[in-house]
Structure 1
Amino acid sequence: MFKDSLGRGARAVDAHFAGVLGGVDDLPVTRAMGYAVSGGKGLRGWLVLESARLHDVPRDRALWPACAIEAIHAYSLVHDDLPCMDDDDLRRGRPTLHREWDEATAVLAGDALQALGFEMVSDPRCHPDAAVRADLTLSLARAAGARGMVLGQALDMAAERTTRPLTLDQITALQSGKTGALITWSAQAGARLARADLAPLTAYAERLGLAFQIADDILDVTGDADTVGKAVGKDAARGKATFVSLLGLDGAKRRAQTLVTDACDALSSYGAGADALREAARFVISRRT
């Protein structure tokens, strides 16, 4: 059920992107943008669509922030893969964007995707109320910037330059920004569109984001590149502290399971209507990619 729903959401987001990018001149950077946003699971966009459904927000309206978060996420991956950052050759089972094109195109495509994300949540077709659009834009800026995802990236890079391993609390704070901030915004988006209470979905998403990162750390140890779609074993090779290195493999799995249980419990006020979100949380720690 969830995988089918995730697939439908990803296809809807892809179709919306095609329409948006179809209005832009056909240039290498535009084609690179399309390459960057394709091939992923679309979890963040799906979270936007599902949280919007919970609040009876029309799907055609929810697609704008769903595409926006996938654009922001794609830009972060394009830049993260660059030689000056993680220097990766493989992403989503394909060459990273700077390998498929070149570094300059990758930088520009990432920049353009970031701008496009904010353009989409600012578009009147996202919501007729300018105050709602302003709230979406401001909250997305905070989630994506130096208070959220970029902060987490910066802390991650700084950790690679020190010989002192991070503590569990430090890794949790780092990953709450690097991975968790955009996931949290995604789950909140439907409530923001409906001007509803953010607390239940915030509590759910904060736990989901950490569980997602723990699952990534586990896959880096137990997965293989062909299945995962990106390089594995890099954290250990760099001597990076991770949830697995600090908690052990079994301890990390137990921690992820506890987070998923807590995430599901946070949705109690929605009753059975939030079952798809609960299934998403369980999927996050059972995935192989």
Structure 2
Amino acid sequence: MVSVASLLLEGSLPRLEVRLLLQAVLQCSLTTLISAPERCLGEEEIAHFQALQARRQRGEPMAYLLGEREFYGLSFLTTPAVLIPRPETEELVDWALETSAPLASLHCLDLGTGSGALALSLQYHRPHWQVSATDHSAAALALAKENAARLLPSSGPVLNWYLGNWFEALPKGETFDLILSNPPYIAAADPHLDRGDLRFEPRQALTAGPSGTEDLAHIIAQAPLWLKPGGKLRVEHGFDQGEFCRSCFLRAGFTQVTTRTDLAGLERLTGGQRS
């Protein structure tokens, strides 16, 4: 018989990862798991655990194995159809929530929503805002809608979901007070794409052409057409792309162009205001 304790001690994976996989297999809390180390797994449970263990040993991200990842205090369903929500992107939510007084009503857009992490975090914490989101992937948009059904009250606000590439997905004449985007910004030939979690994430959500800045340049150039006067654009970008983004914002006529750093002091977010 194979017990919880024996699996935690066998050492093929870090103990924390084994605990998380066992919780997924046994559908139990961490408290329940560690309070019964003598519990033995059935044959189907062992087979399920071993399958997950083998996938993890091949490097598959824990978020895909577990099917979820926490972002901004919410648990998002996560599949290989979308990028894994990352802590760095939470800074984009922070910046958005600082944009106006808590009770102000804003019309906001999340470009390239993926799992819906940005859009739903905003809607959850600012239920009186009107939030819209786009994605060019039908599978990603379907997952975002599923996350919305799980995370937002049924009696709450209804997001607008649009399928298509960036602003092309939107109805003509739509304008926003705030636009957020975490677009692809990795160069197509970047060797990091063949390392770690990136190997398993959707390539089209990571890369944006030879330089990695193509989508950033497009979004920044087009955003003034979709922003109300005084509206704001905030984008996430690579640590070495801050200067490029600032120049794009200035060329597009934005004022109050600002770049924010992450906890490591690296430039990761740039924003501006439509004049």
Scaled by the length of structure 1, the TM-score of the pair is 0.26
Structure whose residues are more often helix by fraction: 1
Structure whose residues are more often strand by fraction: 2
Structure number with larger C-alpha Rg: 2
Scaled by the length of structure 2, the TM-score of the pair is 0.26
